[in-house]
Every structure is written in structure tokens, then in C-alpha cells.
């Protein structure tokens, strides 16, 4: 996938704080250009999840600067956060689907929450994203009726509803067996090949050996550029 020199995400000299206010990453400085596929790796507790939460405005920025999809995160107002999250798709490891609603209704909930009103356009958009993730006939089903891999595909469909230029994925294959994880990665590759940037936190080094991409490492309070060849034996 070729990518534009125009950044979709830019972080400059930023401190990343945990929810308790403790700094876990300092002097963070990197950018992600349109169309890039970037892995974020690091040991448990190294700051990966805190960094991702900061990028979708779940944690505040006190020091430094960060821009994502046209939003300045340091000065973002609470009322702006829903608009930011329309511009980025978020894929969680633990799915966070509404168990008492069908897949169609899970997706409908997100569209209505992000301002969609036309019922025919809503119906078409739900159909489009389910086709895209390979679940064209699963709309009437409930989450408990789907496998883990299928539920993760629903989460990806949900993240794609507003056609975001960037997907942020936090260990999206962490709860899946290798064969299912491979299918999810192929889906992410297809999404990336269509022009969407991807930032994916993972512990699974086999993924970026099989599906190469740029690698950022959270280590010793820093975010460092690295190369996949450095991780044959771990980090």
C-alpha cells in the first residue's frame, strides 16, 4: 500500500498519562501518514493502551501536542469528543457489543449516536459494512450466536460505519485462535489497502512477520521506531 506524506496523526513532545495521573511515556514524538499500517508493541504496562486511549480522547493530554484527523487533542472539549470518534474507528479486544441487541441493532445504535437520521441510508450502510467484513447474513443474529472471530468482525464493521480515515485497534486478535486471527488480519490488510490508516497494538509478533508494517515500540518510557528483525527473540 502506498501512502500519502500527509499525516493523519501527529504526536509531538507529548507525555502520556495513566488514568491515575502517573506518566508512563515521555517525549512521545511520531506521526502516521494516510494509508500507513503501523504496529504498536511493548511489554504489559509499557504504556500501549494508555497511548491509544489518549489518541481517542479517553485520557487527557497535559504536556505536548497531538493532532488526529483534524482535531487538536490537548485542547479538545468534551462536546467535541463524539465528533473526533466519528473520524476514527476503534476496535477493542473484548468486543464491547450490546448483548441484548441484534447485530443490526448494535450498528444502528452507533449510527444514530453519530447523527445518522435517514432510515434508508442507515439500512444501506449497515448492509454495506456487514458485507465488507464477510457477515452479510448475520445482521439479525445476536452476539452470543456468533463465534469470537465473527464478533470481532462485527466490531470492525462497527468501526467502519462512518468511513474513518484511521482505525485504532487494541489487541484485536488477542482472544482469537491463530487461524481466526489470521482471517482478521487479512481483513485489516484489505481495509488498509483501500486507503484507511491502521494503528494496531499487538503482542503477536507472528502477525507483523507475516503482514509487514512499520513498528513502534513502547519501551522504558519512550516510543521508539524499530524494525521487525529486532524481534525474532522478543523485546
DSSP category for residue 35:
T
Q: Does residue 234 fall inside a structural domain?
A: no
Residue 235 lies in a domain: no
> Each residue of 32-79: pLDDT tens digit?
999 999 999 998 889 999 999 999 999 999 889 999 988 999 989 999
Q: CA 143, CA 37: separation in Å to the nearest integer?
A: 29
CATH of the domain at 186: 3.40.50.300
Please give the Cα distance from 179 to 128 (Å, whole number): 25
Residue 58 makes CB contacts below 8 A (sequence gap 6+) with none
How many folded domains does the chain comprise? 1
Q: What are residue 9's DSSP bridge partners?
A: 32, 68
Strands 65-68 and 222-226: unpaired
Residue 1 placed within a domain: no
Q: Which domain holds residue 31?
A: 7-228
pTM of the model: 0.90
Torsion angle, CA of 124/127/129/133, rounded to 10 degrees? -160
Tell whether 2 is covered by a domain. no
- Which tens digits make up the pLDDT trace of 170-198? 999 888 888 888 999 999 999 999 999 99
Q: Is residue 228 predicted with pLDDT exceeding 50?
A: yes
What pLDDT is attached to residue 25?
94
Amino acid at each position: 500500500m502506498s501512502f500519502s506524506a500527509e499525516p493523519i496523526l501527529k504526536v509531538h513532545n507529548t507525555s502520556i498519562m495513566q488514568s491515575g495521573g502517573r506518566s508512563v511515556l515521555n517525549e512521545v514524538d511520531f506521526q502516521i501518514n494516510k494509508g500507513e499500517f503501523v504496529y504498536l508493541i511493548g511489554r504489559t504496562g509499557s504504556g500501549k493502551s494508555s497511548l491509544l486511549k489518549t489518541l481517542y480522547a479517553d485520557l487527557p493530554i497535559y504536556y505536548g501536542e497531538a493532532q488526529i484527523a483534524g482535531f487538536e487533542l490537548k485542547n479538545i472539549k468534551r462536546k467535541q469528543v463524539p465528533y473526533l470518534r466519528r473520524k476514527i474507528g476503534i476496535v477493542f479486544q473484548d468486543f464491547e457489543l450490546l448483548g441484548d441487541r441484534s447485530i443490526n441493532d448494535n450498528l444502528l445504535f452507533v449510527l444514530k449516536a453519530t447523527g445518522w437520521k435517514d432510515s434508508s441510508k442507515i439500512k444501506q450502510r449497515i448492509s454495506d459494512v456487514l458485507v465488507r467484513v464477510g457477515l452479510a447474513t448475520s445482521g439479525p443474529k445476536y452476539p452470543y450466536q456468533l463465534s469470537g472471530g465473527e464478533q470481532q468482525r462485527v466490531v470492525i464493521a462497527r468501526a467502519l460505519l462512518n468511513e474513518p480515515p484511521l482505525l485504532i485497534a487494541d489487541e484485536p486478535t488477542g482472544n482469537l485462535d491463530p487461524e481466526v486471527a489470521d482471517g482478521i488480519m487479512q481483513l485489516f490488510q484489505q481495509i488498509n489497502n483501500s486507503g484507511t490508516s491502521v494503528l494496531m497494538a499487538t503482542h503477536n509478533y507472528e502477525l507483523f512477520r507475516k503482514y509487514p508494517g512499520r513498528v513502534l515500540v513502547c519501551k522504558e518510557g519512550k516510543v521508539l521506531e524499530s524494525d521487525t528483525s529486532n524481534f525474532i527473540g522478543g523485546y
